[in-house]
Amino acid sequence: MTGPTTEQQRQWDEQGYLLLAEAVQGEELDRLQRIFDHWAAACKDDWLEGIAKGDSTATYYDLPNPLEKDEIFIDLVDHESWFGLLQRFTDGETLFIGPQVRSVPPWPLSYTGWHPDVGPTNPLHIKVQIYVEDVAPGTGEFGYVPGSHKPGSGPYARPQRQESMPGYKTFPGKAGTAIMFNSYGWHTAMDNGGSVRKSIILIYEKRTPAKVSPEAFAAIENYCTSPERRALFGFEV
């Protein structure tokens, strides 16, 4: 496991995010793309039915139970490109909360507005977003307000237009790019006027007893054999 460089630590503390270029690459990325597309196609009819019933949202499509679909999604959770960073930032107490294997269709708006996920009284909450395909500007790329994770920053308000957020930065990127961010900070997906955005969002927190939920991952427990992975999924302290 590789911890942050001095520059990465400074960037994380001051800006609240790290951009990890080529975090997934080569054969692993090819395989991830194939498996992502396979399962997205296989589960799509159920999603469309859920939309018609008013149970699913039409403006983004999350693969149901992705960890149970293919081991590659489990392997991403403690991927070497970011797990060491997570462990350092959580003082070795990283707890996995859940995945979002997400496809976003083009739409005149973003499916979400600017928001923080949690307030600063919540345990440290970190997300890693991995682009499965290239994400060009204007196609739902990740946006973040650097420094908005810090106590006393802001105040911030949700603007009507994504591009009206003061001080924001967007992150178009190549397939395999990962963005790790402190989700106390204000973030969004920018408007997607172009193509389907495919990404995976992994959600973590600094471990607290209230959030440990091994039953949520019972179906994949046999893939969790190392002490580090069992701790990550909440099977062991």
Partner 1 sequence: MARIDAHLHVFAKQSKEFPREESALAPADREETAEKFLAHMEQHAIDQAMLVQIGGAEITEHAYLRHCIDAYPDRFLGIGLVPGDCAEPEAHMDALAGEGGIVGFRLGSLGGPRDPFAPIDVREFASYRIWQHAAERDYVLWLYVQAADAHLIAHLVDAFPQVRVVLNHLGMCPGQGKFTVDEWGRPKIDTPAYSPAFHTTWRLTRYENVAVLLSGQYAFSKEAFPYRDLAGWHERLLRDFGSRRLMWATDAPWIYEEPGYGKYTRVIDELLPSISERERADIIGGTAGWFLRFPQRADD
Q: Is 107 in the site for partner 1 (CB under 8 A)?
A: yes
Segment lying near partner 1 (by CB under 8 A), choices 10-18, 31-39, 50-58, 126-134:
50-58
Q: Which is nearer to partner 1, 58 or 218 (CB)?
A: 58
Segment lying near partner 1 (by CB under 8 A), choices 4-12, 63-71, 127-135, 154-162:
154-162
Q: Which is nearer to partner 1, 110 or 182 (CB)?
A: 110
Kindly state the smallest distance separating residue 57's Cβ from partner 1, in Å: 4
How is residue 144 written in tokens?
């973040």
The residue from 105, 123, 138, 154 that contacts partner 1 (CB under 8 A) is 105
Q: Which is nearer to partner 1, 61 or 144 (CB)?
A: 61
Residue 209 main-chain phi, psi, to 5 deg: -55, -35
Q: Is 110 in the site for partner 1 (CB under 8 A)?
A: yes
Q: Is 42 in the site for partner 1 (CB under 8 A)?
A: no
Peptide bond into 155 cis (omega under 30): yes
Report the distance separating Cα 167 and Cα 169, nearest Å: 7
How is residue 44 written in tokens?
């799509």
Report the distance separating Cα 64 and Cα 57, nearest Å: 13
DSSP string, 77-131: HT-TTTHHHHHHHTTT-EEEEEEEEEEE---SS-SS-SB-SS-TTSPPEEEEEEE
Contact between 226 and 77 (Cβ < 8 Å): no
* Parallel/antiparallel/unpaired status of strands 142-144 and 169-171: antiparallel
Report the distance separating Cα 234 and Cα 188, nearest Å: 28
Q: Is 196 in the site for partner 1 (CB under 8 A)?
A: yes
How far from 51 is each of 61, 62, 81, 103, CA to CA, in Å?
A: 10, 12, 35, 15
Site string for partner 1, 64-103 (x = CB under 8 A): ---------------------------------------x
The residue from 26, 27, 155, 160 that contacts partner 1 (CB under 8 A) is 160
Cα atoms in the Cβ-side hemisphere of radius 13 Å centred on 195: 8
Kindly state the smallest distance separating residue 201's Cβ from partner 1, in Å: 15
Q: Is 115 in the site for partner 1 (CB under 8 A)?
A: no
Q: Is 61 in the site for partner 1 (CB under 8 A)?
A: yes
Segment lying near partner 1 (by CB under 8 A), choices 53-61, 85-93, 125-133, 142-150:
53-61
Q: Is 5 in the site for partner 1 (CB under 8 A)?
A: no
Q: Is 109 in the site for partner 1 (CB under 8 A)?
A: yes
> Residues interacting with partner 1, by CB under 8 A?
48, 51-61, 103, 105-113, 158, 160-161, 196
